[in-house]
Each structure stands twice: as C-alpha cells, then as structure tokens.
Chains A and B, each alone.
Chain A
Amino acid sequence: MDFRLDPDVAAMKETVRDFIANEVEPKAMQIEQEDRVPDDILEKSKRIGLFGISIPEEYGGMGLNMVGKSAVFEELGKTINGYTTILGAHNGIGSVGIVELGNDEQRSRYLPKMSSGEWIGAFALTEPQAGSNAAAIQTTAVKQGDRYILNGQKIYCTNAPIANVFTVMAVTDKSQGSKGITSFIVEKTFPGFHVGSVEKKMGLHGSQTAQLYFDNLEVPEENVLGTVGMGYVNALKILANGRAGLAARCLGSSEYLLDMSIRYAHERKQFGKPIFEQQVIQHYLADMAVEVETLRSLLYRVAWMMDEGMPTIKEAAMLKLYASEVYNRVADKAVQIHGGVGYIAEYPIERFYRDARITRIYEGTSEIQKNIIASRLGK
C-alpha cells in the first residue's frame, strides 16, 4: 500500500492552493454577498484548467484517475463552496455522463469545449414530483422522425444559468417505469429550452441553481446519451461517479475548518489563557481531527477501488454519507470553538456551516445513501 500522491498530482494541488490563496480567497466575501462569482475568477479558472478535471487528455482535459481527481477536489474544498460547486457540478455530474457514456462523436463534439470551460455542464434529473424517488420523473420525450420532442420541467439544476450543455433525463416509455427513462445531451440553444429564475438558497452563494422548462424542446436523435431506456441506470452511475469528488470537497472544507479552529483556539484567550488549554476544546479538536483523518482514508480507498474497476456502489454511498456528515459535525464544532465569531458573517466559519448543510441533501440524501448501503449489506 502506498498512500503517496503521484508527483504530478502533488504539483497540481500546489498550483490549486496558490491559485485559491491569491485569486479566490481575497474575493470570497464579495462572492458571498453578491451571490455571484466574478467573471475574471471563472476566466482564470478556465485558463489553469479547472474545467477539465474529469476529462481525458485526448479531449484537452487533465486525464486524471479518481485518486488524482479527488486530490484536486480536496484542495478546492478549502475555499468558498459556492465557487467550488460550479466546478464540482461541471466536472462531476455535468460532464461525467458524456465522458463515461458518450459515443466518439458526442465526446469529440462536447468534451474539448467543456475541458476548456468554453462550455459549462449541468445535470437535470430532479423534478417537482421526483426528488429522492428519481424514477418518478414526468418529463416526456417523444420521438418524431430524427428527433425527440421533450416537454416538462426540471428544478434545482445547478449551473443552469451559466451552462451550455445539460445531461437531461426524460421518460421515453411510460409503460416501462424506471426502464422507460432515457438520457439526452441538451444544448441551451436547442429550440424550446428555457431557464427559469434562480433560487435563493441558505448557502452555496455564488453557485446558481435554477428551474428548466422544456416547451416542445427539440433534441436530435444523435444526442441520446447511452442506450434508450437506460436513463435511470445512467443517472445512478453518474451520481455514483460524482460521489468521490463531492466527498473530496467535503474533506477539504473539513480540513480548512479544523485548521481555522486550531489556530483560533491558540489565539483566543479567556480566563487568562488560550481556550486551547481547556480540555474540552482539545477534545473537540481531537474529535474533528480523527473524523477528518478517517474520511481521508475512506475517500482515497474508495477512489482507488474505482480506479481498479471494482464494484463500489455500497462504498461510494458510504463515502458520500460519511463525508457530508463529517463536514457537518466539523462545521458545528468549528462554530462552537469560535464562539460568537463563529456566528458572525464577517468571518468565514458561519458560511461554511451553512454551506455544509446541502451536502447531506443533494446528490442523494443521507437517508437514501443509508438505503443503498443497507440494501447491499451481506451481499
């Protein structure tokens, strides 16, 4: 067993660390307040390649395996989550469908533009009546000649206002239930495609989530992603693939909060000494550190299993569940250690606390992860 990172990946992490420190962190408060990532940050992110994390080298991406991707995402997790969610959704659920399931034509049409960031990706599964029960989607896709006509509504689509390419799930054969769903690659310029208003959220400011409306949306037949009728399975695959990236971002954020808390505990004096000298604070920090270390081990093991092509449905669910729960517990303790400062918006702690909350909900709630895990126990 060798837990050392490949030197290339270590160098990438270092570049990402410098980039975040110099370009993103100084504007984190601005992003939070304006709920928008400035264009120059997105442009610079594109230039250094942060939109090609999941894309193979032949299409201009970084060609990283899951361990390498996780290492880069871990570093990205250390800054404002709204910014990293743009990258996470694009490099994760927004592009892995085309990478993993696309045919050669689809890959060469979309991936070069996506790896450069010229085209941003998004994923549209959730509907008003279909959240955890994703197989209950109602958006229809009816074949007419050489195209499909889509009608329906999607909600909570991350990156929708800035995305050009959407992986969309729609029902092609209602009688087949979950086996009657098909995935499509939809461009925002296709006739009948509309983006609705942007949601106001508790956190993840800077990342935009919006509704989509399909009004006789015309999708050419060659834009069917994978096989007709396999859309539900595809969606689960895409989500499972994205779990390591999401977990890595949770890990990075947890590490950041632990570091901030250690520093603060040494600096803050009450009753004539640093609060670090109170055993209860030491124990909080020890608990946080153990959870962060455990998450790191689980993340890189599951990422390695994925790279080895081993079945990981149960392990990926465990990882997503554990990563988001650890992040939330660490964020809660970080607020506690910071006292009032942890609750004041002038400091980053309360922002991470709010941002942490979504990780237990999106890309499959904690409850749904437990269902997946339990259904595979003893098998």
Chain B
Amino acid sequence: MDILVLLKQTFDTEERITVENGKVKEDGVRFVINPYDEYAVEEAIRLKEEHDGTVTILSIGPSRTEEAIRTALAMGADEAVLADDESLFGDEYTAAKVLAAMVKVRNYDLIIGGNQAVDDGSGQVAVRLAEELGIPHISTLTKLEINGTEVVGHRDAEGDVEVVTATLPVLVTAQQGLNEPRYPSLIGIRKAGKKPLTHVTAADLRLSPEDLTARTEIVETYLPKPKEAGRILQGEMNDQVKELVHSLTNVEKVVG
C-alpha cells in the first residue's frame, strides 16, 4: 500500500507564544510536527508495517520544515517532498492546489492528514485536497481499519461512534486518540539523513498564478485574552442554581 502523509511544521503550542507586528514571533520558538499530523505519520507507518508499501511525506513550508520532515523519516517514513518555494505559500485554497499538484504525479492508495493544524486551526486543507483529487474523504478518525481495498473509519460523534466505510483510494484525517505516536529511534535519526527529500518549486508543479492566489486575507492576529479568575458560587443550593442560570443567560450570555 502506498501512503501519502500531509505534514505541516508548526510551533509548539505548549511553549510560550508571542505576537509581534501581527505575526507569531519565530525567534526562540520550538518547531514541531503538527501534533495531528504526527498521528497521521504514525498511522501510515503502522499500516506500512502491516501491509508493506511506502510512506511518502508531502509538505508545504519554509526550509526549516526539513527538521519536522526528518523526524517523520526517522519514525519510519520512506521519502519526502517539500514545497519550500515561497511563491507556493498562501492559504487553505492554494495549499490544496499545491498538494494536489504534488499528489497527481504519484501513485497512492491512501492519503492521511491531520484533522487540523494547531497554528491556524482551519481544518480545511486535507478535505479540500480530496475534493481537488475527486476522491472520498473521512475526517477526524479515531480508528482506521483497512482490509484489501475496504476502509472502515471510526469518528467521534458527540459521545457516540460513527462508523464510515469507503473504498481505496481515500483521504482520511487523524484525530487525537487514533494512536500513540512513537519516538523516532536514534538509529532512525541516523538513517533519516540518507532518505530522499526532494524540493519542488512552482515551475515543477506547473501551477498557474490563478491557482496560487490566496482567496482569504488575515486581517489581524492576536493572543487570546488572559483567563480571568473563576467565581465560586456559595450559599444554599437553590440560590446557587438560580444565580448560575442568571449568570449564564444574562451576564456571560453563553446560553441564549
């Protein structure tokens, strides 16, 4: 089975993030594989171990993305393609176009992406790509089974499980809980340096300026408001409940 994995490098959201001039400051930030994409990489490697085949990483991003790619290769992926030509950077629309051009020249049975990237959190790129390619997609999987060409995906459905079936080729996206990503082995890190990593440009992908024009614009980037201290209600239970309902409907206005 030949598997393509969509991978984005993001900043580590567990570390301190600062915004400067409308952008997340990159100095001193630790960059990692987008955590949802890490589940995708792990799932692809497990499927390869089970069914044989290849795992290829596809990525768009600046050259520092190589580090995240090397980690995926060290975990067990076989090769990688990085679109690090700046003219290829845009929004979800252009990313899907670029990935589609990268995918079209390859054989594949399965494409796995993360459910969303933790930096911009749009959750669009992978499913847009499936639309571009004209193949089915199942998003936010917590379990994936493949038998021959039959695909069974489990997704969380508001506390229940929704089971979706499809036939290869298909695109799926990974949700937390799909698996527990492995650490890259140290020997894997040595080997990763020798695995093929190709760079592609706009010219290689033969994309038109139209395809590369972003359809959205970022107007402002800001950090969420710091959390204020919570309020603990006191007194008789009856009064507490009344006050809670009042607060939720009139003060915080979270229920209409």
Residues of A within 8 A of B (CB): 7-8, 11-12, 15-16, 18-19, 44, 47-50, 52-53, 57, 60-63, 72
A49 touches B74 (CB 8 A): no
> Measured between alpha carbons, how far is A38 from B54 in the docked complex, in Å?
35
B190 touches A52 (CB 8 A): no
Central interface residue in A8, A52, A57, by most chain B CB within 10 Å: A8
> Measured between alpha carbons, how far is A8 from B74 in the docked complex, in Å?
10
Q: A322 CB to closest chain B CB, in angstroms? A: 28
A49 touches B67 (CB 8 A): no
> Measured between alpha carbons, how far is A63 from B185 in the docked complex, in Å?
13
Judge if B193 is at the interface, Cβ distance under 8 Å: yes
Chain A to chain B contacts (Cβ below 8 Å), 24 pairs: A7-B193, A8-B190, A8-B192, A8-B193, A11-B71, A11-B184, A11-B192, A12-B186, A15-B183, A15-B184, A15-B189, A18-B183, A47-B182, A47-B183, A48-B184, A49-B185, A49-B188, A50-B186, A52-B186, A57-B190, A60-B187, A61-B187, A62-B187, A63-B190
Judged by DSSP, the binding face of B is helix
A12 contacts across to B, CB distance below 8 A: 186, 189
Q: B124 CB to closest chain A CB, in angstroms? A: 29
A15 contacts across to B, CB distance below 8 A: 74, 183-184, 186, 189
Q: B165 CB to closest chain A CB, in angstroms? A: 33
> Measured between alpha carbons, how far is A16 from B189 in the docked complex, in Å?
12
A63 contacts across to B, CB distance below 8 A: 190
Residues of B within 8 A of A (CB): 67, 70-71, 74, 182-190, 192-193
> Measured between alpha carbons, how far is A47 from B75 in the docked complex, in Å?
11
Q: A71 CB to closest chain B CB, in angstroms? A: 11
> Measured between alpha carbons, how far is A52 from B193 in the docked complex, in Å?
18
Closest 6 CB pairs of A and B: A49-B186, A49-B185, A49-B187, A48-B183, A11-B189, A48-B185
Contact of A48 among B67, B186, B192 (CB under 8 A): B186
Quick one: closest A residue to B66, CB to CB? A7
Q: B57 CB to closest chain A CB, in angstroms? A: 16
B74 contacts across to A, CB distance below 8 A: 11, 15
B183 touches A11 (CB 8 A): no
Known: A57-B190, A63-B190. A11 touches B185 (CB 8 A): no
B184 contacts across to A, CB distance below 8 A: 11, 15, 48
A72 contacts across to B, CB distance below 8 A: 186
Q: A99 CB to closest chain B CB, in angstroms? A: 15
